[in-house]
Chains A and B, each alone.
Chain A
Amino acid sequence: EVQLVESGGGLVKPGGSLRLSCAASGFTFSNYSMNWVRRAPGKGLEWVSSISGRSGYLYYADSVRGRFTISRDNAKNSLYLQMNSLRAEDTAVYYCARAQTVGANVLGYWGQGTLVTVSS
């Protein structure tokens, strides 16, 4: 069974940093692209970032490029999102999501999410 468990969310001041983690199990982690998606309060889903299985390809939304860094450790079956220079508009529930198949990065499986609140 595919399981994705996010952690690392919390309350942080504007300009601060936070590192989110996603622990994966139930599949061969290195075979799949992974993603971060967020949902801000009262808003819709927003794709944040994607990383290919061997970390060769990284993609970011314009809203986070230069501030957020996606990474993974295939030996630890873990996905990360380093978030720097946080802003109030980064407040959201952040979801880790796995690609549905090895070949195409369509979102297939989701974690339960971790809440990030950016406030002074």
Chain B
Amino acid sequence: DIQMTQSPSSLSASVGDRVTITCRASQDISNYLAWFQQKPGKAPKSLIYAASSLQSGVPSKFSGSGSGTDFTLTISSLQPEDFATYYCQQYNSYPRTFGQGTKVEIK
């Protein structure tokens, strides 16, 4: 199975900050990497697929990059509605695997 490791596990940031979350795969997954956002009590929301393609309706302050084993999710200017937990997931092979999540909190 492919292991996905996110860092950091949590971070504190202020409104307006630029935030970067990293995700590392235990083997080459090409660009088969997706990012999701989940707020407490809500369903996950799909943000990015194919490592860098924005889902329809997702604001351009979110961006993704990377290929192979190393990936990043960047939020260019953090807003109050962005405080949430973010997950990466590989869809290169089954079983699909998620990272453990990164909780973005208000400083």
A residues near B, CB below 8 A?
A: 35, 37, 39, 44-47, 50, 59-62, 95, 97, 100, 104-113
24 contacts between A and B (CB under 8 A): A44-B98, A44-B101, A45-B36, A45-B87, A45-B101, A46-B98, A47-B95, A47-B97, A50-B94, A59-B95, A62-B95, A95-B43, A100-B55, A106-B34, A106-B49, A107-B34, A107-B44, A107-B89, A107-B91, A108-B49, A109-B46, A110-B43, A110-B45, A113-B43
Shortest beta-carbon distance, B80 to chain A, in Å? 22
Residues of chain A within 8 A (CB-CB) of B45 are 110
Q: Is the interface of B mostly helix, strand, loop or mixed?
A: loop
Most buried by A among B32, B43, B49, B85: B43
Residues of chain A within 8 A (CB-CB) of B55 are 100, 108
Taking A59-B95, A95-B44, A111-B43 as known contacts, 17 extra A-B pairs with beta carbons closer than 8 A to each other, sorted by chain A number, are A37-B44, A44-B98, A45-B38, A46-B98, A47-B96, A47-B97, A47-B98, A50-B94, A60-B95, A62-B95, A106-B32, A106-B34, A107-B34, A107-B44, A107-B46, A110-B46, A112-B43
Residues of chain B within 8 A (CB-CB) of A39 are 38
Contact code string B42-64 (vs A, CB < 8 Å = 1, else 0): 01111001100001000000000
A4 to B, closest residue via Cβ: B43
The reply to whether A100 and B46 form a contact with Cβ atoms under 8 Å apart is yes
The reply to whether B91 and A104 form a contact with Cβ atoms under 8 Å apart is yes
Shortest beta-carbon distance, B89 to chain A, in Å? 7
A35 to B36, CA, bound (A): 15
- Interface of chain B residues 86 through 106 with chain A (CB within 8 A): 87, 89, 91, 94-101
